[in-house]
Amino acid sequence: MVSLEVYMTSKRKDNLKYLLMILISIITLGYFVDVNIFTFIKGIPDMMKLLLKMVHPNLSHNETLITALKETIEMSIVGSSLGLVFSIPFIFVTAENIAPSKMIASILNKFFSIIRTIPSLIWAAVLVSIFSIGKFSGTMALAIISFLMSQKLLRERVEEIKENELNSIEAVGANKVQIMYYAVIPSVSKHIVSIFFLILESNIRSATILGFVGAGGIGQLMWTHLNHLKYNKLATIIFILFFIIFIIDFISVCMRRNIKIKIVQIKNLKTFKFIKFLKKIILILTIYIFFQVITQYFSISFQRLMVGFSQGKNIFLRMLHPNFMYFPKIVSGIFESLYIALFATIIASILCLILSYFTACNSSRNKIVSLIFKIFSNILRTFPPMIVAIIFFRGLGPGKFAGAMALIVYTTGSMTKIYSEIIENVNSNIEDSIKSTGATNISVYYYALLKETYPAFIGVVLYRLESNIRNSTILGIIGAGGIGTLLNMNIIWRNWENVGMMILVIGIMIGGIDTISRKIRMRVK
């Protein structure tokens, strides 16, 4: 039997080894992304001047701003709705526990996984080339991303249905359709609203930058204000976005926590039948109104739509024949994107562990401190990475370092929000058992909360790494390093074979990270 002293010595050595590995990783990746502490310190005054200009938003009425903001919200709502609606039928053929063919389900899931690696900005840029500039291209880009996200989330919910539940319904003589109606649809329907708000929250952020490639929304206005150094007007847009995202986030949290409001108390069979009939009428009316609104929203003629489909067919056929001779030129850009994503994720993970201590209600000293840090993390994640990168350009200049810093800011905010909520859901008995020994708040945080939520934290880190690789591929569009610069140039020059090659490589890279992440999650659990 190993003595306590030997065990503690071994544990300290292991911890020291892990810390050393993290430090070496940070230094190595920092070298590859051109981290320069002296440049950062030197650039702080310029960045502070820019931020000081942005803390005085111009709240005067501006018709152009209102119009662009309205378009952004419309694009997000319509794109999210379309994606969610069209994803529902696919869960019946992609969820492996109910799919008629597991082979078809596997093929479809792999296909969706590959195209899910393409960021919304790239979809928007391609669709602008097909259908011209405007909100139609932007909305369709958001609809595609929403479809892919909804399909994944809904499929996972269906696959969580216990096999004995499905077997029990089948045992009473139910056919496939009845199993879908009585087991699958109820399971999916209770998640649809929360998934919609989750996707809407994400699409609001995505829609703000689609204007950078002419795909409608407020992004073009933000870009104009940046180019003309109108930082107070840019601050106004960010302030409004923060308010909108806060409201959506609040509604989303309520939905995720299954807050239900009972308007009618069902006391007898007659009332039950009436409510059931009323639900069917409301569903039919909702579907009718939805398609009427969608039809009126898209102000694009049938003829232009057909021309766009013809152009899109040619573009996608060219992209399906990638130029493999172009591969050597994109290798350095691919590795740049990977280094930026890894560096940003590691630094943000460390900052997340620190900030989550103050953000989570059960680890923070008091509720006021917790509230302040919750607001702070929301502010960090409200700024789109592309806007943050432009702010860092002011002090660091364009390049990989600015791109990495932009991702660190955004990732820290996102991770702190998610992980602090995980900490708040830890069983209070675990905390109390450590507190009863006279441990300090920091000791409770480390020995109770962090130890208990370690697998979840690793899951959050890996999820953000996958997202950061996607984000790092588009940061290059504005000169923040990575493959985005080459990607943007080839889209502008209509070199679709080269674009196809880059998307293929990006897909393989993100797919590889996704596979490794899944294996790590399984081992940690």
What per-residue confidence (pLDDT) applies to 263? 45
Residues of the chain with CATH 1.10.3720.10: 8-55+325-525, 57-260
The contacts of residue 312 (CB under 8 Å, 6+ apart) are 127, 130, 131
What per-residue confidence (pLDDT) applies to 299? 64
What per-residue confidence (pLDDT) applies to 5? 64
Burial status of residue 286 (CB atoms within 10 A of its CB: 0-12, 13-18, 19 or more): exposed
What per-residue confidence (pLDDT) applies to 4? 54
CB 477 within 8 A of CB 487: yes
What per-residue confidence (pLDDT) applies to 261? 44
Q: Which CATH architecture has domain 57-260?
A: Orthogonal Bundle (1.10)
Q: Specify the long-range contacts of residues 240-247, CB closer than 8 Å, at least 24 apart.
A: 240/69, 241/204, 241/205, 241/208, 241/382, 242/378, 242/379, 242/382, 244/73, 244/204, 245/201, 245/204, 245/205, 245/378, 245/382, 246/378
Per-residue pLDDT of the chain (525 residues; tens, 9 = 90+): 556 566 567 767 767 887 888 888 888 888 888 888 888 888 888 888 777 776 666 666 567 777 778 888 888 888 888 888 888 888 888 877 777 788 888 888 878 877 776 777 778 878 887 877 778 888 888 888 889 888 887 887 777 676 766 667 666 666 666 667 667 777 777 677 777 877 887 788 777 777 777 777 777 777 777 667 676 777 777 777 777 777 776 776 666 555 444 444 556 666 766 777 777 787 677 777 766 666 666 666 667 677 777 777 888 888 888 888 888 888 888 888 888 889 999 999 999 988 888 888 877 777 888 888 888 888 787 777 877 887 788 778 878 888 888 889 989 988 888 888 888 777 666 666 766 666 666 777 776 777 777 777 887 887 788 778 877 777 777 777 777 778 777 877 888 888 888 888 877 777 777 677 666 656 655
Q: Is 264 helix (H, G, I), strand (E, B) or coil?
A: coil
Per-residue b or e along 424-452, where b marks 16 or more CB atoms closer than 10 Å to that residue's CB: bebeeeebeebeeeebeeeebbbbbbbeb
What per-residue confidence (pLDDT) applies to 484? 74
pLDDT digits (tens, 9 = 90+) for 392-428: 887 788 788 888 888 899 899 888 888 888 887 776 6
The superfamily in CATH containing domain 8-55+325-525 is: MetI-like (1.10.3720.10)
The contacts of residue 51 (CB under 8 Å, 6+ apart) are 391
What per-residue confidence (pLDDT) applies to 216? 73
| Three-state secondary structure string covering 178-211 | HHHHHHHHHHHHHHHHHHHHHHHHHHHHHHHHHH
What per-residue confidence (pLDDT) applies to 348? 92
Between the alpha carbon of residue 519 and those of residues 107, 145, 306, 512, 525, the distances in Å are 20, 25, 44, 11, 10
